[in-house]
Amino acid sequence: MSERQKTLITGVIGSDTHIVGNRILSMALEKAGYKVVALGALTPAADFIKAAVETSANAILVSSLYGQGELDCRGFRALCIEAGLDDILLYVGGNLIVGKHPWPVVEKIFLDMGFDRAAPPGLRIETVIEWLERDFAAREQGLRRAKD
């Protein structure tokens, strides 16, 4: 990480109340040295954006476990751009779509929406932390995100 501590916004989007995994993620991110602004459950997309603007956040990590992530996250990148957060790092994770779909299909939907990373259910927290470190390093080199 660079000299300035990175600020991350976390929360559970939409009408989703599944907060436990998001809280565990937030605690692990804090332990890894990030400043975390945890918005909790039932968070509208606009609240993520507002918090990111107010805190000059470096990334937003959106969680959704109730299967409506595709609906709740539609237009998220556009909201960021409208708020002047064109280059903010956006991650989304969880059980994002109702029904059984191959993960590469689900991931592509969210990458096409403008998210930089999409995490499947059960992804290890260490992987998210590794992604953040690599993506922040890539940003410092003028890249959108690290190559996988």
Nearest one of 24, 22, 25, 20 to 11, comparing CA atoms: 22
Which residues are registered as beta bridge partners of 62?
Answer: 11, 92
148 tagged catalytic? no
Nearest one of 88, 148, 120 to 21, comparing CA atoms: 120
Q: Which helix (H) or strand (E) holds 11?
A: strand 7-12
101 tagged catalytic? no
Q: Exactly one of 16, 72, 116, 135 is catalytic; which is it?
A: 16
Nearest one of 36, 18, 31, 41 to 126, comparing CA atoms: 31
Matching residue, tokens 């064109």? 86
Active site residues: 16, 18
